[in-house]
Structure formats: C-alpha cells, structure tokens
Amino acid sequence: MPSLNAKAIRLFTRATIKRHGLDLDEAVAHMRRQINNNALPTLLPLGVRAERCSIAGINGLRVAVKKPRRTLLYFHGGGFVAGRPDTYKNFAGRLAKQLQAEVYLPDYRLAPEHPYPAPIDDAVACYHWLLSNHVDPSTLAIGGDSAGGSMTLATLLRLRDEKAPLPAAAFALSPAGHLGCTNPSMDDNDHLDDMLSADLIRRCAEAYAKGQDPSIPYLSPALGEYHDIPPLALAVDENECLRDGAHDVAQKMREAGGTVELISRWGLFHVWPIFTPFIRESREDTAQIGRFLNRYMNFNDRLKPAA
C-alpha cells in the first residue's frame, strides 16, 4: 500500500506536470517551467557537502562526503529538454553517504537546442574526464533517472562498443527505453501514469531525436544488445508509460548472462526514488540501489576531499 505522502505526490504531479495535446514548443516550455522553475532545491543530508564544478568543460555539481573513496556519475532527468542538478542534492547526498562517494551531476546540453547525440557526447566526455582524473573504473558507477536513465544505458552501450573501460556498476530509474514510443505501455498506461502522458513523452522524444531514426540503440537503449554490460539495477513503477523499457532491458541483461536487479513497484509514480526527502518508499529503494552498488564497487584512496 503506497504511503499517504506518495499518494499526495501522485495527485500533485497529475495536476501540475501531466499534460495532453501540447505541441513541441509548448511541451518544452511546460517541462522547463515545471521542472526548472518550480522544483525546489532539496537540502543536503548531514555530513555531505556540495560545490560547483566543471566536468570535461561542462558545468555541474559535486556532492561528496568529507573523504570520498568512490565516484558516481549521475545524469538528471527532465525529458531531455529540462532538469538541473540542484534538485538532486538530497538524493545524491544519500547515495554519497551510503557509498562513501563523491557524486558528479553534470549540467549536460539539452534538446531541442542540442538534440541527440549532444547529451550522450557530454555523458561520455564526463566519464572519460573522470578516468583521466585518477578515478579507477572499478571504483566508479554511473546512473540516472528518466531521460538520464536512458542516457545511462546509452552510455554503457557506447562505452562497450568503443571498447572503453566500463564502470563497476550502473543503475537507471524509470529509463526512457523506447524513443519511438510504440511500446505497449506507452498508450496502455496513459490513463494510469500520474506524472507523464504519452503525448508529453512523444513531444520530448521528438525534440531529442530531431528526425533521426529512433531505432538507433543509443537513442532507444531498450533495443540494444546487453552482452558485456556491468551489473545493472533498474527501477520502474508498473503504471508508468515508460514501464516496458526497464523490463525489456532487464530481460536482455538476463538473456546475455548479465547481472541485473529490477525494482518493480505498484501505486507509486515516475522516478519515485529521487523524492527521498518526501516519501518512505523513495528512501527505501534508494537504499536498495546503494546496497546493489556497494556489492560491485571497489575503493579509491586517491580522490580529493570535499571542499
């Protein structure tokens, strides 16, 4: 049974974020208004500090414990058209404490001004920047939510295809796996999803793909091959329009003999784990993701202390 706070957030997001019938420009403006302008920055947990940083020439946020021994590279959500790192301080801080880590949140380029492959190029550049700055890949994980979850999966596929060193583990929360938006849950769950509509997702996908073939695995990572991918955790609510992407990737990981953990919930909402200050289920599942990462990440004693 979802908590009362979770039910309240479902009602709030249905009233403020979910929209039907918007054209592309209206959808982008709506997402930026709701996610960039109206979302409040969250407070850091005790024992964690945040500082502005530059990652591969990209502005961002570094959230870290005093003496970090691991590194997490995290890509924020926002439909590829919106989002900002400041709203993730509490979520990132909790993972930083659990992992004894520094968390880098790059403010990557956004569509429609910078469509695919610009955000993925930024993600890969940030990853290589970390490797060039004394981060051993065995001590490094990557993750993201929604569009950032899609970017996480696409980054894994691209790093593997380019034969680059892979991170120790990864996670994707409610990832956008099918940019063609033809997967069954897109329309089947349109009336059930309390945050996103199929219309809104399609407009964001249109802005990001900008006429390119959505079957490209880096655009639709649920269509990729998942051999030689590091341990991967996925989370999705069964009522989401994006439900199928997480399940399809989990199945491909199993078929390829990979290590995968799927957190499946009923009665919550899109990317619920990032709402750590507000609902019990977020804190529980963020801790579960942290335990998953802890099993696969080594320690690195060459990282700089937090400011």
Q: Residue 136 above 80 pLDDT?
A: yes
Please tell me the distance from the alpha carbon of residue 82 to that of residue 150, in angstroms, as a whole number. Answer: 14
Please tell me the distance from the alpha carbon of residue 28 to that of residue 269, in angstroms, as a whole number. Answer: 21
Place 300 in a pLDDT band, splitting at 50, 70 and 90: confident
pLDDT of the residue at 274: 96
Q: Specify the fold of 4-294.
A: Rossmann fold (3.40.50)
Q: Residue 29 above 60 pLDDT?
A: yes
pLDDT of the residue at 301: 80
Please tell me the distance from the alpha carbon of residue 228 to that of residue 257, in angstroms, as a whole number. Answer: 9
Q: Residue 119 above 60 pLDDT?
A: yes
Q: Residue 307 above 60 pLDDT?
A: no
Average pLDDT over residues 230-239: 99
**pTM of the full predicted structure?**
0.97
Q: Which residue has the higher pLDDT, 134 or 239?
A: 239
- Residue 97 identity (one-letter amino acid): K
Does an H or E element contain 121, and which?
helix 118-132
Q: Residue 38 above 70 pLDDT?
A: no
Residues 188-201 pLDDT 10s: 999 999 999 999 99
- Where do the domains of the chain lie? 4-294
Q: Residue 133 above 60 pLDDT?
A: yes
Residues 161-218 pLDDT 10s: 999 999 999 999 999 999 999 999 999 999 999 999 999 999 999 999 999 999 999 9
pLDDT of the residue at 43: 87
By annotation, the residues acting in catalysis are 146, 240, 270
HSE, CB side, 13 Å, CA atoms: give it for residue 163. Answer: 0
